[in-house]
Amino acid sequence: MEYALALTGFAIATSATPGPNVLMVAAASAQVGVRRVLPHMMGITVGFPAMFVVVALGLELPFAQIPWLHRGMQVAGGLWLLWLAWKIATAPPPGSAAARPPLGFWGAAAFQWVNPKAWMIVLAALPAFTTPGAPVLPQALLIAAVFAAVSLPCLLLWGWIGLAAARVLGTGGRLRAFNIGMALLLVLSLVPLLR
């Protein structure tokens, strides 16, 4: 019971706190509404647990043994985050024909592989919530299932925050300032990569 509570608390805390995923969901929801961002949310909800299982089953060792491979993923992720921040900051006004979420299901699922926060969560959760010597697959599947269960509610919360911000801010300059703020927070999420 203690393990389940600790794992669930960890999953909620890491899924609900600001990071690239929730910031993109909030910004996209402010632009196009929560319903149109659901594919993006589902991509995160499926993509992160899948990444977790794959890493648990074998990618952690190659990254540990080949430092440039890990750094290469960090650089690629950082560049992609900068591009997404630019897309958020320069998003067209809500309701315009050009307004759309930055990522759909597959893009959001693939994004987890270059998301610095996702890697930090995986690398923290693996040693914290697995038992050495026990089979890895069942443990990884359990952890991934908990993350899958808490992800969508956390993302919906951020989607509603973005939608509420859009309603409060209206259109034009104030919403543009919100988008720029979300983009800057997304860029700030790159700070851990600079270490």
Structure tokens at 106: 């597959």
Quick check: is 20 in a domain?
no
Quick check: is 173 in a domain?
yes
At 39 the pLDDT is: 96
Higher pLDDT, 167 or 178: 167
Quick check: is 16 in a domain?
no
At 3 the pLDDT is: 83
CB 23 within 8 A of CB 186: yes
Quick check: is 75 in a domain?
yes
Quick check: is 1 in a domain?
no
Quick check: is 10 in a domain?
no
CA 34 to chain centre: 16
Quick check: is 8 in a domain?
no
Predicted confidence (pLDDT) per residue in 56-94, tens digit: 888 666 766 777 766 676 677 677 767 767 877 777 665
Predicted confidence (pLDDT) per residue in 92-117, tens digit: 665 555 556 668 999 999 999 988 88
What is the tally of structural domains in the chain? 1
Q: Angle of helix 2-16 relative to helix 116-129, nearest 10 degrees?
A: 170
At 146 the pLDDT is: 97
Q: How far apart are CA 150 and CA 11, in angstroms?
A: 7
User: Is this prediction's pTM over 0.85?
Assistant: no
Q: How far apart are CA 171 and CA 93, in angstroms?
A: 7
Predicted confidence (pLDDT) per residue in 44-55, tens digit: 999 999 999 999
At 53 the pLDDT is: 95
What range does the domain containing 189 cover?
A: 28-194
Predicted confidence (pLDDT) per residue in 121-170, tens digit: 888 788 778 887 778 889 999 999 999 999 999 999 999 999 988 888 77
Quick check: is 12 in a domain?
no
Residue 32 reports pLDDT greater than 90? no
